[in-house]
A and B are shown apart, each in its own frame.
Chain A
Amino acid sequence: ETGVTQSPTHLIKTRGQQVTLRCSSQSGHNTVSWYQQALGQGPQFIFQYYREEENGRGNFPPRFSGLQFPNYSSELNVNALELDDSALYLCASRTGQNEKLFFGSGTQLSVL
């Protein structure tokens, strides 16, 4: 148990739709990041949030956006879904002083 929870567990959307994924960080963790894991691949960094602001982004287009709330929970929003967005989306949290990321169990998104 990492203390990081994600919802929903599974989600099916159609191309062009929008989706919101949610993450509740472990208590005391002020930094949250999101990763996309395509089938058969390792997780890829999407972006990081610290103090409710995005402060780092990987190679993902602007239609991937996020929010971090004062209680350190977070959302990942994806607009104009494409078939290639089908993947496992993982949320991870940490404190500023800890090099270890704590991962949630992920949301499996299928885009049809």
Chain B
Amino acid sequence: AQKVTQAQTEISVVEKEDVTLDCVYETRDTTYYLFWYKQPPSGELVFLIRRNSFDEQNEISGRYSWNFQKSTSSFNFTITASQVVDSAVYFCALSENTSGTYKYIFGTGTRLKVLA
């Protein structure tokens, strides 16, 4: 079955530290997408990045970077020089497309607290 595991329940860092959020997934599909979303206290899911299963090129965007490794089924997310505004719950998600039904499988989230 499709599954996303975020083993880190909560992480606390001091401002300006780097932090990596881990995500491990399981899927039978050969074509799929992986996503990271940020959920601040207001509740909305803010899209951060998507990767398709054929694109293992890692990327850096500002203070964010992603490490996608199919060999270990991992899709980790790093924030460099963290800021207080980065405090939120971060979700990793895996797409599943079965018989025309398209949905996300979410992990349980990692709560990031950045302390001033």
Contacts and interface: CB of A to CB of B under 8 A. Distances in A.
Main secondary structure of the interface of B (DSSP, over half): strand
A99 B35 CA distance: 10
B91 A48 contact: no
Contacts of B50: 99-100
Contacts of A48: 101-103
Interface in A95-111: 99-106, 108
A16 interface: no
Contact of A56 (B33, B93, B99, B104): B99
A42 B100 CA distance: 23
Interface in B37-70: 37, 42-45, 47, 50, 52
A31 B104 CA distance: 14
Nearest to A98: B102
Shortest Cβ-Cβ A-B pairs, 10 listed: A56-B101, A42-B106, A105-B44, A45-B103, A103-B45, A99-B33, A106-B43, A42-B108, A43-B106, A48-B101
16 contacts: A40-B109, A41-B109, A42-B106, A48-B101, A48-B103, A55-B100, A56-B99, A94-B102, A99-B33, A99-B50, A99-B52, A99-B102, A100-B35, A100-B47, A103-B37, A103-B44
